[in-house]
């Protein structure tokens, strides 16, 4: 029973398309996050939501739009995909700051 699950695991798409990545957690955590990991393995936070409310919105192009229908779900929609969007996107959740995150297994997005 996966704690933080992301779908799809792999996503290959053409430039200009719109795509979504879904994330669900069954841990009862209040806060969820999206991180982007680039080709050099660098992890950078994109967004965080606490109980459906946007808390952190880093300097991310507005082509990226997170949506949290309830506190167990945080989806990421990306419009007009560009080559530079190719990366691994990780969803994570946490109950409290000092407890760390539980990560999903990632979605590898390849834009061609």
* Three-class DSSP category at 25: strand
Q: What residue has token string 């419009």?
A: 79
DSSP string, 36-102: EE-TT--EEEEEEEETTEEEEE-S--TTEEEEEEETTEEEEEE-S--GGG-EEEEEEEESSGGG--E
Please check whether residue 13 is in contact with residue 81, taking contact to mean a CB–CB distance below 8 angstroms. Answer: yes
Q: What residue has token string 């080709």?
A: 39
If one asks whether residue 103 binds another protein (CB under 8 A), the answer comes out as yes
Q: How far is the CB of 55 from another protein (least distance, A)?
A: 6
Measured from the CB atom, the residue of 75 and 104 that comes closer to another protein is 104
**What are 21's two structure tokens?**
């990545």
If one asks whether residue 89 binds another protein (CB under 8 A), the answer comes out as no
Measured from the CB atom, the residue of 4 and 111 that comes closer to another protein is 4
Per CB under 8 A, the list member of 13, 19, 22, 45 interacting with another protein is 45
If one asks whether residue 69 binds another protein (CB under 8 A), the answer comes out as no
Q: How far is the CB of 48 from another protein (least distance, A)?
A: 6
Which residues 21-40 are close enough to bind another protein by CB under 8 A? 31, 33, 40
Query: Contact positions toward another protein, by CB under 8 A?
Result: 4, 31, 33, 40-45, 48, 50, 55-56, 90, 92, 97-106
């Amino acid at each position: 029973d996966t704690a933080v699950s992301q779908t799809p695991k792999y996503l290959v798409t053409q430039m200009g398309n719109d795509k979504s990545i879904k994330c669900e957690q069954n841990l009862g955590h209040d806060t969820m996050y999206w991180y982007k990991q680039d080709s050099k393995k660098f992890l950078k936070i994109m967004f965080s939501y606490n109980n459906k409310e946007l808390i952190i919105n880093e300097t991310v192009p507005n082509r990226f739009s997170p949506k949290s229908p309830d506190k167990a779900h945080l989806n990421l929609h990306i419009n007009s995909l560009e080559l530079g969007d190719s990366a691994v996107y990780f969803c994570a959740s946490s109950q409290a700051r000092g407890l760390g995150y539980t990560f999903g297994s990632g979605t590898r997005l390849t834009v061609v």
